[in-house]
Amino acid sequence: MGVRDLVVLYRDDDGSVATAVDHLDLDVATGEVVALLGPSGSGKSSLLRAVAGLEPAASGRIGWDGVDLAGVPTHRRGFGLMFQDGQLFGHRDVAGNVAFGLQMQRMPARERATRVSELLGLVGLGGFEHRAISTLSGGERQRVALARSLAPGPRLLLLDEPLSALDRALRERLADDVRAALLATGTTALFVTHDHDEAFAVADRIAVMDAGRLLQVDAPALLWQAPATRRVAEFLGYEAFAPVDAPVAAVLGSGLAVPVGTVAGRSWSDGTSDAVLAVGPGSLETAADGPLAGEVRSAGFRRGVIELGVVVEGLGAVTVVERSAGRTGAADLPRAGTTVRLRPVVGGVARIG
């Protein structure tokens, strides 16, 4: 699937016309899962809806195998859709929901039953064929919705915030399951989310969007290790930035994820005045002989780890994450106002510019 110079407009409440997607280019290879990641209002859902044929393109081109899809209605594009609420049929049981698209394809009943059973097993709902939708949990309903979307074998599956209504722990489990199902079926997919963890868990590549534009498209590891701009780094969660010629940068350099050179087609040079080193949660760790000193501003437990809010001279406020092994409670944590020694974690610091 290829998008070229796409523009999508929308009308504000006051009647003025605004740009949702701004001259955007994007390719999705066969069998690839691409996540559109961005804050609310970044244009990611508008892009997905334009690809689906649910929103008109003001200009530009959306193509599949060299064929321009302009004027092709949604139901003839061969694409599948999965939304946040699943949109299941309450009057059909689980099997009836999954089989819906297969019935539209006029698949014989025996083949249809086999396909439904296979897909329910794939999404972890084996034996649920005759369960009523009303008896399912939210996570189970989204698994049914995923199986239903995959059943007809869409040439492209479009998923719009499919896990956002679920709690954090369930989202994390289902994100892994969604990726496994997409890989097992060889499905090409465009996955819209505002959740970083979902994007990193599901996608082969992540496309970061902001204000209708693509800021960077890269594999998850490279996106984190080498954000193309400070805006991308900030959105990914990097907290503090230091110019490469700042005194603190000499210490941070030992934690660079990617050494100076050429990464993803971007050439870096030493000592450029606008280059910065970016530090995020977990980029620094406590160490008795650490070369950096910081003042603790806050300390607390979070799911098996300790998070310290620390202000480092020449850098600013950062989050230091360490394992909670050996800590027995709040009294064990560094107190606000105390000084801790820190060192960069190898691979935890990124260079921008």
> What is residue 270's predicted lDDT score, i.e. its pLDDT?
43
Nearest alpha carbon to residue 312 among 302, 332, 297, 330: 297
* Cβ atoms of residues 47 and 21 within 8 Å: yes
Mean pLDDT value across residues 124-146:
95
Q: Beta strands 305-312 and 316-323: pairing type? A: antiparallel
Residue 260 — pLDDT band, cuts 50, 70, 90?
low
For the segment 36-66, what is each residue's pLDDT rounded down to a tens digit? 999 999 999 999 999 999 999 999 999 999 9
Residue 324 — pLDDT band, cuts 50, 70, 90?
low
Residue 78 — pLDDT band, cuts 50, 70, 90?
very high
Neighbours of 204 (CB within 10 A): 17
Q: What is the DSSP letter of 180?
A: H
Architecture label for domain 2-222: 3-Layer(aba) Sandwich (3.40)
> What is residue 312's predicted lDDT score, i.e. its pLDDT?
97
Give residue limits of the domains in the chain: 2-222, 233-352
Residue 289 — pLDDT band, cuts 50, 70, 90?
very high
Q: Beta strands 33-37 and 292-302: pairing type? A: unpaired
Mean pLDDT, the chain, as a whole number? 91
* Cα separation, 345 vs 343, whole angstroms: 7
> What is residue 304's predicted lDDT score, i.e. its pLDDT?
73
> What is residue 273's predicted lDDT score, i.e. its pLDDT?
54
> What is residue 160's predicted lDDT score, i.e. its pLDDT?
95
> What is residue 344's predicted lDDT score, i.e. its pLDDT?
96
Residue 271 — pLDDT band, cuts 50, 70, 90?
very low
Which one has a higher pLDDT value, 87 or 56? 56
Nearest alpha carbon to residue 100 among 110, 114, 89, 111: 89
Q: Which of 12-16, 273-277, 323-327 has the lowest mean pLDDT?
A: 323-327
For the segment 177-202, what is each residue's pLDDT rounded down to a tens digit? 999 999 999 999 999 999 999 999 99
CA distances (Å), 245 to each of 86, 142, 252, in order? 51, 50, 11
For the segment 96-116, what is each residue's pLDDT rounded down to a tens digit? 999 999 999 999 999 999 999
Record the tokens describing residue 255, joined without a space: 């934690």
Check whether 259 has a pLDDT greater than 80: no
Which one has a higher pLDDT value, 331 or 116? 116
> What is residue 263's predicted lDDT score, i.e. its pLDDT?
54
CA distances (Å), 330 to each of 291, 300, 301, 310, 334, in order? 26, 7, 8, 17, 9
Which residue shows structure tokens 């049981």? 93
> What is residue 306's predicted lDDT score, i.e. its pLDDT?
86
> What is residue 12's predicted lDDT score, i.e. its pLDDT?
84
**What's the chain's length in residues?**
353
> What is residue 269's predicted lDDT score, i.e. its pLDDT?
42
Percent of the chain with pLDDT over 90: 80
